[in-house]
Amino acid sequence: MIRTQRLAAGVCALLAALASGIAFPAGAVADETTALAPKVDLVLDVSGSMRTKDMDGGTRMAAAKQAFNEVLDATPEEVQLGIRTLGATYPGDDRKTGCKDTAQLYPVGPLDRTEAKSAVATLSPTGWTPIGPALLKAADDLEGGEGSKRIVLISDGEDTCAPLDPCEVAREIAAKGIGLTIDTLGLVPNTKMRAQLSCIAEATGGTYTSVEHTDDLTDKVNQLVDRAADPVVTPVATEGGSSCPKAPTLKSGLYTDREEFGQQRWYRVDVDPGKELRASVSVAADRTMNPDYGLLVRAFTTHGREIVRGEAAGGGRTDVISTGLRYPKADSDEEDAPAETVCLLVTNSFSAASGVKTTPGMPVELTVDVVDGPSQADDVASFGLGRGWWLLGALVLIGFLAGLVWGWLSRWRVAVWRTN
């Protein structure tokens, strides 16, 4: 009897151990899924100017609320989404208080659509436009986890809380290397606002879009939220050559390299007829630099003729500097026409401050994309006068005819003057 009881107890202990062994991996899988979940923080400008009625006959705030409700319905289940406001609570004139007016309306995490919509419904245009402080807080909202992180900023005006420059804030966020992207949407076609929002987006590899209609706002925010759920692309390590013949041949993708101060690095890309090469380069100033520096990327033929270039400059307050170029390869009438090898040359004019180590080189991120070129309907190159000679010939003909008409009118006026 005792032996039977011991045997039963042993079997129960074994089953309990197996059950616990099965449960732990399930929990571990759930934790891993949560850690890899993409995160998005929607940052909405709720300043007083959002009550302006110029969005399809309604206010900018009404358009934003409608867009948010539709976006919340369409947000993928795997995305952890939050909402932060700026300028939503303080209506007064005290600058110090107004520039602290940013709050987390809905925390970043698993989405309760009803709760999030109820929170959005309470918003009313109120105060200042503290974009810089809101971005800093939004970066904190997204802390933790290993998935992609994205801030989507929707605003209708410039930051009103300088000297905390939102561009500098975005550069600081990019320099932390946490993989956070900021996309910006402007609700007004304003030149200064566009420049500021573009600068914020470019600092983190994001995008800027001007939006003037409610449907466009909904579509764009949905697109950005969906993009956060896309798999994260892991950069491929490469090493640029000292000349084009010694350079590695790159396919479409994301690459990392190191470049020393004042160094040149060469890369090769094969571009088929009818395709377009798009390349962008970013260099991180990961140590103290001397002011006044630049980044230059140029495309050459294998014979050394420069095709197109992109350049950017900094003044000592930039943590990441980026530039890019586009080169459309004209289609060919020949069947099985060979691809053209394009040589990309990346050059920097950084110099190290006194006592700063110059090795290893600065981090370089290179994006290469070979896509379908412009269609025949808009058969115009992205640089230069145009493809073919027809446009030049048309301009010459128009100039010739205009000269004849002007000469005839001048002679007629002189003849009339002499007659009188």
Q: Is the pLDDT of residue 37 over 70?
A: yes
**Cα 360–365–371 angle (5° rounding)?**
155
Q: Is the pLDDT of residue 400 over 60?
A: yes
- Tell me which of 66-70, 110-114, 391-395 is least confident: 391-395
Answer yes or no: are the C-beta atoms of 283 and 293 closer than 8 Å.
no
- Tell me which of 183-187, 246-250, 295-299, 393-397 is least confident: 393-397
User: First CA to last CA across the chain, in angstroms?
Assistant: 142
More reliable by pLDDT, 48 or 357: 48
Q: Give the pLDDT score at 375.
A: 52
3-state secondary structure of 244: coil
Q: Give the pLDDT score at 332.
A: 72
Q: Give the pLDDT score at 303.
A: 93
* For residues 157-184, average pLDDT: 86
Q: Is the pLDDT of residue 17 over 60?
A: no
Residue 264 and residue 268: Cα distance in Å, rounded? 14
% the chain with pLDDT above 70: 81
Answer yes or no: are the C-beta atoms of 259 and 362 closer than 8 Å.
yes
More reliable by pLDDT, 38 or 36: 38
* For residues 406-417, average pLDDT: 68
How far CA 116 is from CA of 59, 60, 208, 228, in Å, comes to 21, 19, 25, 19
* For residues 355-375, average pLDDT: 82
More reliable by pLDDT, 238 or 291: 238
Answer yes or no: are the C-beta atoms of 382 and 328 closer than 8 Å.
yes
3-state secondary structure of 68: helix
Q: Give the pLDDT score at 347.
A: 95
* For residues 393-419, average pLDDT: 69
Which of the four pLDDT bands, split at 50, 70 and 90, describes residue 32?
low
Which of the four pLDDT bands, split at 50, 70 and 90, describes residue 83?
very high
Residue 84 and residue 116: Cα distance in Å, rounded? 11
Q: Give the pLDDT score at 61.
A: 96
Residue 194 and residue 271: Cα distance in Å, rounded? 33
Residue 136 and residue 166: Cα distance in Å, rounded? 9
| pTM for the full predicted model | 0.55
Spell out the SS3 assignment of 316-349.
CCCCEEEEEEEEECCCCCCCCCCCEEEEEEEEEC
Q: Is the pLDDT of residue 7 over 50?
A: no
305-340 residue pLDDT tens: 999 999 988 776 556 788 889 999 887 767 778 899
E strand segments, 161-271: 180-186, 208-210, 236-237, 253-259, 264-271
Which of the four pLDDT bands, split at 50, 70 and 90, describes residue 179?
confident
Q: Give the pLDDT score at 3.
A: 45
Q: Which residues pair with 370 in a beta bridge?
A: 277
Helix axes 113-121, 60-74, angle to 10 degrees: 180
Which of the four pLDDT bands, split at 50, 70 and 90, describes residue 291?
confident
% the chain with pLDDT above 90: 45
**Given the structure tokens 């890899």, which residue do they identify?**
36
Q: Who's near 170: CB < 8 A, 6+ residues apart?
A: 135, 182, 199, 200, 201, 203, 204
CA atoms in the 13 A half-sphere facing the CB of 56: 13
Q: Give the pLDDT score at 2.
A: 41
Q: Give the pLDDT score at 415.
A: 67
Q: Give the pLDDT score at 420.
A: 60
**Cα 135–137–143 angle (5° rounding)?**
105
Q: Who's near 248: CB < 8 A, 6+ residues apart?
A: 238, 239, 240, 241, 267, 268
The two structure tokens encoding residue 65: 């609320």
Integer Rg of the chain from CA: 29
Q: Give the pLDDT score at 40.
A: 95
Question: Quick one: which of 35, 16, 15, 37 has its CA closest to 27?
Answer: 35
136-169 residue pLDDT tens: 999 999 998 888 899 999 999 899 887 888 988 9
Residue 295 and residue 312: Cα distance in Å, rounded? 5
Instruction: Share the mean pLDDT of the chain.
Output: 82
**What is the total residue count of the chain?**
420
DSSP 249: B
89-123 residue pLDDT tens: 999 999 999 999 999 999 999 999 999 999 999 99
Q: Give the pLDDT score at 13.
A: 44
Domains of the chain: 33-229 (3.40.50.410), 236-378 (2.60.120.380)
Which of the four pLDDT bands, split at 50, 70 and 90, describes residue 87?
very high
